[in-house]
């Protein structure tokens, strides 16, 4: 069956398979760390700090990883990411007494490097595999990026659920062993099957080129920083801890809810081209990024007001989160398409890496604020910061080009 497919499609399927496998372990690891260390009595701020290096090293990795991918090939950066994730998982199999904050932060740093090498490689590879330059080519690029991004996030949701199940059935160390062994098999298969020169630039870029010279890429990167900071400021630590403490949800229920939410979020991301006008032959541009950010701002403000006035908390959060997931998924998918479209043809990973550096910076800011602000002022305060961040993303997006290509 696979032999009848074109080489580009075969490579896309291998890349997607790698990305899927990695994402399952990444989602499970995040939920395992949050729930396990909450059980051990860590405060929300301390749990957030466990992810500090994960996000911080993601910033550096995206900046350097894009340059590295353009020089040595995206197959190598993807395989390095898979290998580092195996090491990170094995590092967390030590006895509980040795799971100190510095040790966990170091393991999370490795995992952060691995995740962003893997993501940058997967997103940049699509640019190398899809011919663009026409409306049909741009539409196909949007579809492929949306499918890759959406399926990844759906599987990340499965990973959240998997994390809760593994924690209940195998314990923290057992879960790490199981994930490390499966990912090791995927890594070996990837080493044998990925094309050697995938994404390698014809002219090896200098290190100084890691900073994008494209105005469109720089504006989109700034908008992305605030968009993802807006999500993580209430989603990463504040919301699961609020559900476990204030609402009294069991750990498995928190994990299951987040799993279902992220799966639905991923499905909407995959369908985003159809929701934003592809059937009418439209390819989104910078104006679409502004228009879709506005309803997300209004919705988040509505959720914050509901929490402030102490309305039915379960209804406000569950209903609000479902609507937030739909709107955020469309915004995220639009951004993911635009960056691949704006990226230059030769050495696309440089622009994509710079953009995901901004993404990681937004996640870092959001994660730290999620623990700190929730501990100091509660969930509503986290939501109001989210409102401000989304509004800033919309304002910045006004300066994006009105055509999909730079």
Would you state the pLDDT for residue 278? 56
Query: What CATH number matches the domain at 2-195+214-397, 3.40.50.12140, 1.10.10.60, 1.10.3720.10, 1.20.1250.20?
Result: 1.20.1250.20
What pLDDT score does 204 carry?
Answer: 62
Tokens of 262: 């992220």
> Could you state, in order of their start, the residue ranges of all structural domains in the chain?
2-195+214-397
Q: DSSP letters of 364-404?
A: HHHHHHHHHHHHHH-HHHHHHHHHHHHHHHHHHHTTS-SSS
pLDDT digits (tens, 9 = 90+) for 300-328: 999 999 999 888 888 998 899 999 999 99
Distance, in Å, from the CA atom of 121 to the CA atom of 109, rounded to the nearest integer, reads 18
Look at residue 405 in the predicted model and tell me its pLDDT: 47
Question: What pLDDT sits at residue 90?
Answer: 95
**Below-70 pLDDT ranges, the chain:** 1-8, 126-139, 195-213, 277-282, 345-349, 403-406
The Cα-based distances of 20 to 11, 122, 157, 207, 366 in angstroms read 14, 10, 11, 30, 25
């Amino acid at each position: 069956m696979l032999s009848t497919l074109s080489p580009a499609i075969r490579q896309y399927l291998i890349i997607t398979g790698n990305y899927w496998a990695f994402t399952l372990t990444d989602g499970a690891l995040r939920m395992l760390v949050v729930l396990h260390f909450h059980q051990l009595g860590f405060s929300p701020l301390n749990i957030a700090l466990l992810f500090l290096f994960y996000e911080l090293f993601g910033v550096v990795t995206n900046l350097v990883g894009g340059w590295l991918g353009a020089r040595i090939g995206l197959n190598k950066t993807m395989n390095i990411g898979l290998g580092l994730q195996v090491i990170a998982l094995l590092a967390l199999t030590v006895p509980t007494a040795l799971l100190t904050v510095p040790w966990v932060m170091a393991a999370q740093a490795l995992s952060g490097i691995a995740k962003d090498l893997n993501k940058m490689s997967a997103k940049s590879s699509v640019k190398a595999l899809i011919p663009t330059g026409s409306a049909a080519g741009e539409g196909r690029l949007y579809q492929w990026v949306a499918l890759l991004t959406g399926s990844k996030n759906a599987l990340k949701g499965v990973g959240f659920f998997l994390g809760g199940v593994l924690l209940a059935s195998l314990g923290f160390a057992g879960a790490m062993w199981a994930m490390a062994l499966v990912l090791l098999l995927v890594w070996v298969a990837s080493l044998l099957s990925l094309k050697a020169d995938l994404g390698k630039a014809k002219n090896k870029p200098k290190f100084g080129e890691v900073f994008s010279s494209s105005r469109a890429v720089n504006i989109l990167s700034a908008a992305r920083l605030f968009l993802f900071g807006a999500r993580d400021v209430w989603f990463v630590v504040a919301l699961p801890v609020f559900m476990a403490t204030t609402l009294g949800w069991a750990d498995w229920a928190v994990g299951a809810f987040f799993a279902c939410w992220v799966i639905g979020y991923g499905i909407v991301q995959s369908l985003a081209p159809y929701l934003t006008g592809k059937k009418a032959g439209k390819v989104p541009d910078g104006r679409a990024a502004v228009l879709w950010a506005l309803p997300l701002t209004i919705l988040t403000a509505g959720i914050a007001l509901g929490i402030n006035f102490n309305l039915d908390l379960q209804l406000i959060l569950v209903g609000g989160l479902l609507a937030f997931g739909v709107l955020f998924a469309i915004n995220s998918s639009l951004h993911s398409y635009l960056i691949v479209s704006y990226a230059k043809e030769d050495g696309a990973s440089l622009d994509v890496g710079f953009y995901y550096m901004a993404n990681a910076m937004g996640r870092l800011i959001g994660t730290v604020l999620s623990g700190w602000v929730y501990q100091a002022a509660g969930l509503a305060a986290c939501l109001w910061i989210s409102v401000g961040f989304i509004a800033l993303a919309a304002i910045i997006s006004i300066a994006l080009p009105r055509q999909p290509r730079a």
